[in-house]
Amino acid sequence: MNKRKLGIMTGCGTTKQPRHWSLGLLGSMEDPESIVKKTDSIVAIRDKYPKAKIHYLILPFENINSIHELNLTHIPLIEEFGKLYQELKKEHTDSTLRAGFHAVPSMQRLHMHVISTDMVSPCLKTKVHWNSFTTDFFIPYQDVLKELKENGSIKKISSELHKSLMATELVCNQCDFKPKNMPQLKEHLVTHMK
């Protein structure tokens, strides 16, 4: 039996409730130990499987499954995401933080990543992890807000583009270094922290 599918995680984080892993954010939204900040309509939580030294998720209390369910009525909500992101940036002036959404979300419930550019974490393990934050698969917050205002929705990417982005050659996000594999990349990333 696949422990990941049951929601029983090992290694980087644990989940006690037996439910599908894609529903894991719902429990974290209610866990006082996970919550960093919240308003009446949104909450910022610590990512249980951070892909960098700083990694938060901002989610709405409203049941919105993904960016592809957003419409013009959600502009104030997404602007509130941005305000909370700015608050988090002010608290982490020693780090460079980025905010954005995955073009094809893997977790149920709309969520925006707020993540530091160091990308140093034991939970960053695969090329897919890396490429989901360092290619155009990661849509910056401002781009999502602009597209929502201009078009009233967020366009889905094709499955071909999705596959292409996930297969992108590894390249350091802070210099031109091209590692042969993830272990070499992870070793290299630490050198940028000195």
What's the CATH code of the domain at 162? 3.30.428.10
Alpha carbons 139 and 22: distance in angstroms, whole number: 20
Report pTM.
Answer: 0.86
Q: How many domains does the structure of the chain reveal?
A: 1
131: confidence class by pLDDT, cuts 50, 70, 90: very high
pLDDT value for 34: 87
pLDDT value for 132: 97
Alpha carbons 34 and 174: distance in angstroms, whole number: 29
Alpha carbons 192 and 194: distance in angstroms, whole number: 6
Full residue range of the structural domain in which residue 89 is found: 25-191
Catalytic residue numbers? 111
pLDDT value for 19: 53
Confirm whether 64 is domain-assigned: yes
Confirm whether 3 is domain-assigned: no
Strands 112-116 and 97-102: antiparallel
